[in-house]
Amino acid sequence: MKKNKPKFKQIIDAAVEVIAENGYHSSQVSKIAKKAGVADGTIYLYFKNKEDILVSLFQEKMGQFIEKIEQETTSRQSADEKLHTLIHTHFEQLAADHHLAIVTQLELRQSNKDLRQKINNVLKRYLNVIDQIVEEGVEEGLFRNGLDRRLVRQMIFGMMDETVTNWVMKDQRYNIVDQASEVHSLIIYGLARNREEEER
């Protein structure tokens, strides 16, 4: 299988670097090939076309990304903790790979409808992880009943995504992992002044 050959990963890693450094539209196949240390034609032994590099890149990297999140969250007890771990691991992983963060938050979004559709398919697995945590939270009595699952998913994903994008666009100048707890708290409790505060 092609995915296990060393050049497959080699090219994908080169693509992440090149795209992060040059931007999506200045990332010619020849540039990626050069960075990967292979001939232009070699790219096409491992990928159908340029778009396929990007889809594969996303599948490969997001696959690991989600796996890690699944690992970390399952070990937690409550939905609340799981959600916190999810946010923390989400931020942590992107903070650990600056190039990948730029690519996923900015450059890959410049792709066309088709590619974006394929990217969304990869994301579904992640959204399922979120859904399950929410489900557990409701069953545990921690989260409200009657929540619109789709909206909740959008709130959680949308907020994390927006937070990471802002961090990337501010050139990753602060530590995003520090914001995990606050984000978690906002998602769980919202803006409203809560009881404890009120009682103080």
Partner DNA sequence: AATGAATGAGCGTTCATTCAT
Partner DNA sequence: GATGAATGAACGCTCATTCAT
User: Site residues (CB under 8 A) for a second copy?
Assistant: 23-25, 106, 109-113, 116-117, 120, 134, 137, 141-145, 147-148, 150-152, 154-155, 157-159, 161-163, 166, 169, 179, 182-183, 186-195, 197
With CB cut-offs between 5 and 8 Å by kind, which of DNA, a second copy, none does residue 64 bind?
none
Left, alpha or beta for 188 (phi > 0: left; psi -120 to 50: alpha)?
A: alpha
Q: Which of 3, 21, 23, 30 binds DNA (CB under 7 A)?
A: 30
Please state the closest distance from residue 182 (CB atom) to DNA, in A. 40
14 binds DNA (CB under 7 A): no
What φ, ψ does residue 35 adopt, rounded to 5°? -60, -35
42 binds DNA (CB under 7 A): yes
121: three-class secondary structure by DSSP: helix
181: three-class secondary structure by DSSP: helix
Please state the closest distance from residue 9 (CB atom) to a second copy, in A. 26
Read off the amino acid at residue 180. Answer: A
118 binds DNA (CB under 7 A): no
Site for DNA in 57-116 (CB under 7 A): none
Judge whether 69 and 90 are in contact, CB under 8 Å: yes
- How far, in Å, CA of 133 to CA of 86, rounded? 9
Judge whether 145 and 137 are in contact, CB under 8 Å: no
Please state the closest distance from residue 104 (CB atom) to a second copy, in A. 13
Q: Which residues contact 65 (CB under 8 A, 6 or more apart)?
A: 93, 126
With CB cut-offs between 5 and 8 Å by kind, which of DNA, a second copy, none does residue 10 bind?
none
26 binds DNA (CB under 7 A): yes
Read off the amino acid at residue 133. Answer: I
Look at residues 130, 126, 137, 145 and name the one whose alpha carbon lies nearest to residue 80: 137
Query: Looking at beta carbons only, is 15 or 160 nearer to DNA?
Result: 15
CA angle 186, 192, 197 (to 5 degrees): 100
Please state the closest distance from residue 98 (CB atom) to DNA, in A. 23
Query: Looking at beta carbons only, is 27 or 89 nearer to DNA?
Result: 27
User: Which residues contact DNA (rule: CB under 7 A)?
Assistant: 2, 5, 7, 25-30, 38-45, 49-51
